Amino acid sequence: MPDQVKRLLVAFAIFIAIFLLARYFLIPDSFGELGHYRADAIGDAEAYPLSHAGREACIKCHGDVVEEISYGFHAKLSCEGCHGPAYKHAYYAELADPQNFPDSLMLNKPVERDFCARCHDRNRSRIRFASDSTEISQVTMVDVSDHNHFIYEETNEIIRCVECHYPHSP
């Protein structure tokens, strides 16, 4: 065997050794147990605290709202999309004293114009197909800085969307 091939083989052997060593230290223990990923990731994900409860969880105490929203334009929106994550609220509200409801269980009530604007403000990058059956899947847009933009003289505040549109059935 010529000398240069021997040297090349030595170099290859070193590279392979380094590769195997690196592989040994870098690959997590549970890799491959359940396929081409780290099986422990499932346990890690399970250990995260839950923050959302889902609409089903609201029926027990706010069945009226769940029902009224189901007939209106906002039927497909999630409660927690507007009120924020409600896991703690849904599971501990029962134990709380209704006369002295703890702040930590309170959810936000998004009554500001800015909130509705997130979905309804006119945005040229959102397409709305007029006279098309897919219309309902598109959000109706208004110019939030113009649509019923009354200012109360006494308080200098702009009228809120929820004073005219009931958010659960707009």
30 binds ligand HEC (CB under 6 A): no
Cα(56)–Cα(68) distance, rounded to whole angstroms?
A: 14
CB of 98 to ligand HEC, least distance (A): 5
| Candidate segments 10-18, 22-30, 32-40, 56-64, binder of ligand HEC by CB under 6 A | 56-64
The one among 82, 88, 122, 169 contacting ligand HEC by CB under 6 A: 82
50 binds ligand HEC (CB under 6 A): no
User: And the tokens for 80?
Assistant: 């927690």
Place of tokens 């059935």: 169
- Type of residue at 113: R
Cα(168)–Cα(93) distance, rounded to whole angstroms?
A: 21
Which residues are CB-neighbours of 121 under 8 A, at least 6 positions away? 141, 142, 143, 144
Site residues, ligand HEC (CB under 6 A): 53, 55, 57-58, 60-62, 65-66, 69, 73-74, 77, 79-83, 86, 89-90, 93-94, 98, 101, 107, 109-111, 113, 115-120, 136, 139-140, 142, 144, 147-148, 159, 161-165, 167-168, 170
